[in-house]
Structure 1
Amino acid sequence: MSKAVKAAATRIRVVINAGQAKPAPPVGPALGQAGLKIMDFCKDFNAKTADIKPDVPIPVVIFPTPDKKFTYVMKTPPASYFIKKAAGLESGSQKPGHDVAGTISLKHIYEIALAKQADVPHIPLKSVCKSLVGTCRAMGVAVVARPEEA
């Protein structure tokens, strides 16, 4: 495989808090190995995420081009972030399946699924909801039918 084809086929995945991209790890080493301009990415990312709360983790997929430029796609925050915020938790259960760290309702699951479906538009909403319920189970968060039961 030629260098041009290999460089075009690679992609860099990092998770960066909104508005907090800086040349330090994880951004600097990941972009530096690909030979990309780190400060250009940091300035552009910080400008695009300036209106988002600073503690929100944003998954980013960076596609380098052979001429040392790049394009990138920002995804929605991880499902675990949304679940923790909906349940009002700092972290999940230490012993999922044994201890319940918190509860959320099916309405919360539906709202999170609507937000997450932007990343995977070809997957039905019902499947995204089922996946979120599984994530809740893995985090030790109970899912209840009605918000007043939470």
Structure 2
Amino acid sequence: MAKEVLTKIKLQCPGGQATPAPPVGPALGQHGVNIGQFVKQFNDKTKDLQGIVTPVEITVFKDKTFTFVIKSPPASVLLKQIAGVVKGSSEPNKQKVGQVARQQLKEIASKKLADLNVDNLDAAVKMIEGTARNMGIKVVD
């Protein structure tokens, strides 16, 4: 028999660097989850994503046990990393802050394909390209 789900929690934590401090502690503590156990398991699974913001979806069951699924980092984080910029443009249609090659967009799209609501790589590349455009990052061929 399957366990009864109490709630699902979505968080974004730096890979390999999660701590019981907010936002992790309060979000899990109010549902009675063992925070230390989650932090240890999360940091072990994300040690290769050191410092990169990583979304995680935690399913909490009635008996206070949990499971979690680690998603791929947000497209904006990956774009900033590749373009070498600290933040996106405040006026993306007027002021460009960096540039990425179309091949780099394909790499990001292939990493994120499982988490996007598209079924082919070309559509995923267009989504990532739109994110880049909205951040003020120019796409070059």
TM-score scaled by length of structure 1: 0.86
Could you tell me how far apart the structure 1 residues matched to 2:118 and 2:76 are?
A: 21
1:106 correspondence with 2:74: no
Residues 114-148 of structure 1: CA deviation (Å, up to 9, x unaligned): 10113248621111111111101110011111xxx
Q: Secondary structure at the match of 1:12?
A: strand
Q: Conserved in 1, the CA contact under 8 Å of 2:6 and 2:62?
A: no
1:44 correspondence with 2:46: no
What is the identity, as a one-letter code, of the residue corresponding to 1:45? Answer: F
Q: CA RMSD in A?
A: 1.6
Gap runs ≥5 in structure 2: none
Q: Secondary structure at the match of 2:21?
A: coil
Shift of 1:105: 1.0
Q: State how many pairs are aligned.
A: 139
Q: Corresponding residue for 2:28?
A: 31
Could you tell me how far apart the structure 1 residues matched to 2:117 and 2:96 are?
A: 31
Q: Corresponding residue for 1:20?
A: 17
Could you tell me how far apart the structure 2 residues matched to 1:58 and 1:52 are?
A: 8
Q: Conserved in 1, the CA contact under 8 Å of 2:7 and 2:59?
A: yes
1:74 correspondence with 2:70: yes
Could you tell me how far apart the structure 1 residues matched to 2:102 and 2:128 are?
A: 10
User: Where do residues 1-150 of structure 1 align in structure 2 (5 Å cutoff)?
Assistant: 8=5, 10-53=7-50, 55-120=51-116, 123-145=119-141
TM-score scaled by length of structure 2: 0.92
Gap runs ≥5 in structure 1: 146-150
CA change 1:42–1:12 in 2 (3 A) is same
Could you tell me how far apart the structure 1 residues matched to 2:59 and 2:36 are?
A: 16
Q: Secondary structure at the match of 1:92?
A: coil
Shift of 1:61: 0.2
